[in-house]
């Protein structure tokens, strides 16, 4: 397996850990903390809109690419500015009371979401610029592993620390952990081990992305691949509750344990891609997830025991982290060095949008027809959309040696 230099590996791990810890503080830890203090479910549910910047971030990705080209700023400067804003928001939240000030949380959390999503654009662009094709699978394994640690620290870790240290000390501790994690990245020289960038960037835009050969095919791949996944993920926790698991057990299964499973999945995925290539990897992944969705259907219609259901949840989490490594590797291979943040972000945003739409459809369908029909639909769509996605995956992404640098330069 071709690995990035150790300095790049450590910087990547710290960069994505620093980014994911505050994210999962909000996404995984804050809702149960607020609920435990008596905050109304309607208020907590309204926080779902905080994910909007992560879906819409492609809209300002070209601006981030342009800022990153300015002398004295660079991608590192954008990351630093966004991280400072995010950690300042966390520190401000620590001064508020989760019950009496719950409504005042929203604008602060929205500012956090905007800054984190913007940071992610710059982070992904930096990763594309510093990972040549032969190192991308391993680099994305590091990224996925860092995200798993972020779930563990920002989610489960926050819940544990709140009981031990209290609200204010916990949030300040989380902010400190994220800040320290970012130091290897921030201290790395801007051009260290960076791939040769185009002499003439042109102006970052979606039009430049669409001018790439096979851009439409790559967008179709991103569009179709995750379409069925949201159907299952959105219902996994409610399904476990309806199968008799307590809320604390569900939290353990989908929180701390899931992060450990995710770490293993990220490491395995990088090795598989390196050994067999992306196309066989995706084919095996589609088969695996289709079987997993079929097992959920069997559990909903026939019933299975507690331990098999726990194993099934673990397998589903494992496959999601494996998938993350594969998809990000494909997106990196297609992203041009001329506007790495824009290209990569556009593909991930399309991918995430379909995942979220699947989750919205799942809730309405399950309410009307029950879990079984939703899981059955996921099985059919997994095979169908997986096949469609594979027919659209560009050959140069499947086998980057045929085109080691998918056009680096655009016309000015």
Asked if 42 contacts 110 with a C-beta cutoff of 8 angstroms, the reply is no
The span from the CA of 257 to the CA of 107, in Å, is: 32
Asked if 338 contacts 406 with a C-beta cutoff of 8 angstroms, the reply is no
The span from the CA of 43 to the CA of 9, in Å, is: 40
Q: What b/e readout covers 245-257, taking b as 16+ CB neighbours within 10 angstroms?
A: beeeebbebbbbb
* Sign of CA pseudo-dihedral 164, 167, 169, 170: positive
pLDDT score at 287: 97
Nearest to 337 by CA among 217, 187, 186, 209: 209
Mean pLDDT, the chain, integer: 86
Q: Give the SS3 label for residue 119.
A: helix
Nearest to 18 by CA among 85, 109, 95: 85
189's enclosing H/E stretch is none
Q: Which two tokens stand for residue 147?
A: 């995200």
CATH superfamily membership of 205-398: MFS general substrate transporter like domains (1.20.1250.20)
Asked if 342 contacts 331 with a C-beta cutoff of 8 angstroms, the reply is no
Asked if 4 contacts 133 with a C-beta cutoff of 8 angstroms, the reply is no
pLDDT score at 294: 95
DSSP state letters, 333-347: HHS-GGGHHHHHHHH
- Give residue-wise pLDDT tens across range 121-134: 999 999 999 999 88
Domains 1-192 and 205-398 share a fold: yes
Q: pLDDT averaged over consecutive 10-residue blocks of the chain (412 residues)?
A: 88 96 86 76 71 90 92 91 97 88 85 96 95 92 91 84 90 96 92 72 84 91 89 78 70 67 87 92 96 93 82 87 94 92 94 80 81 92 95 81 44 36
pLDDT score at 412: 34
The span from the CA of 338 to the CA of 57, in Å, is: 19
pLDDT score at 170: 93
HEC per residue, 265-311: HHHHHHHHHHHHCHHHHHHHHHHHHHHHHHHHHHHHHCCCCHHHHHH
Query: Domains of the chain: which residue ranges?
Result: 1-192, 205-398
Range 183-189, long-range pairs (CB < 8 A, 24+ positions): 183/14, 184/7, 184/10, 184/11, 184/13, 184/14, 185/11, 185/12, 185/14, 185/15, 185/18, 185/76, 185/79, 186/76, 186/79, 186/80, 188/7, 188/8, 188/11, 188/76
pTM: 0.88
Asked if 50 contacts 113 with a C-beta cutoff of 8 angstroms, the reply is yes
Asked if 237 contacts 363 with a C-beta cutoff of 8 angstroms, the reply is no
pLDDT score at 17: 96
The span from the CA of 402 to the CA of 115, in Å, is: 37
Looking at the domain that runs over 1-192, which CATH code has it been given? 1.20.1250.20
pLDDT score at 313: 84
pLDDT score at 379: 95
Q: Any idea how long the chain is?
A: 412
How far is the CA of 322 from the CAs of 94, 148, 242, 288, 289, in angstroms? 35, 12, 27, 11, 11
The span from the CA of 84 to the CA of 175, in Å, is: 10
């Amino acid at each position: 397996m071709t690995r990035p230099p150790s300095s790049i590996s450590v910087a990547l791990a710290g960069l994505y850990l620093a980014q994911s810890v505050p994210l999962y503080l909000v996404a995984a830890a804050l809702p149960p903390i607020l609920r435990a203090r008596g905050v109304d479910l309607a208020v907590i549910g309204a926080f779902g809109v905080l994910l909007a910047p992560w879906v819409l971030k492609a809209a300002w990705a070209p601006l981030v690419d342009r800022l990153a080209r300015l002398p004295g700023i660079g991608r590192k400067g954008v990351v630093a500015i966004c991280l400072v804003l995010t950690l300042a928001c966390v520190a401000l939240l620590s001064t508020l009371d989760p019950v009496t000030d719950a409504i005042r949380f929203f604008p602060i959390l929205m500012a956090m979401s905007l800054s984190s999503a913007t940071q992610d654009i710059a982070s992904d662009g930096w990763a594309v610029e510093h990972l040549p094709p032969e190192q991308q699978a391993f680099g994305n394994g590091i990224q996925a592993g860092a995200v798993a640690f972020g779930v563990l620290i920002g989610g489960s870790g926050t819940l544990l620390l709140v009981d031990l240290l209290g609200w204010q000390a916990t949030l300040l501790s989380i902010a400190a952990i994220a800040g320290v994690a970012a130091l290897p990245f921030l201290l790395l020289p801007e051009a260290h081990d960076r791939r040769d960038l185009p002499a003439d960037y042109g102006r970052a835009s979606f039009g430049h992305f669409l001018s790439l050969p096979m851009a439409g095919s790559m967008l179709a791949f991103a569009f179709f691949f995750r379409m069925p996944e949201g159907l299952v993920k959105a219902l996994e926790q409610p399904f476990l509750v309806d199968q008799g698991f307590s809320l604390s057990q569900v939290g353990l299964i989908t929180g701390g344990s899931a992060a450990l499973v995710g770490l293993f999945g990220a490491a395995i995925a990088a090795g598989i891609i390196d050994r067999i290539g992306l196309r066989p990897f995706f084919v095996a992944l589609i088969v695996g997830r289709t079987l997993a969705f079929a097992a959920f259907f069997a559990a909903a219609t026939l019933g299975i025991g507690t331990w098999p259901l726990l194993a099934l949840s673990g397998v589903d989490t494992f496959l999601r982290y494996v998938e993350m490594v594969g998809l990000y590797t494909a997106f990196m291979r297609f992203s041009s060095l001329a506007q790495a943040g824009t290209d990569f972000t556009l593909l991930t945003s399309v991918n995430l949008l379909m995942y979220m739409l699947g989750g919205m459809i799942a809730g309405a369908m399950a309410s009307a027809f029950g879990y079984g029909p939703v899981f059955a639909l996921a099985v059919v769509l997994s095979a169908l959309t997986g096949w469609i996605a594979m027919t659209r995956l560009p050959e140069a992404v499947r086998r980057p040696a045929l085109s080691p640098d998918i056009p680096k330069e655009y016309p000015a």
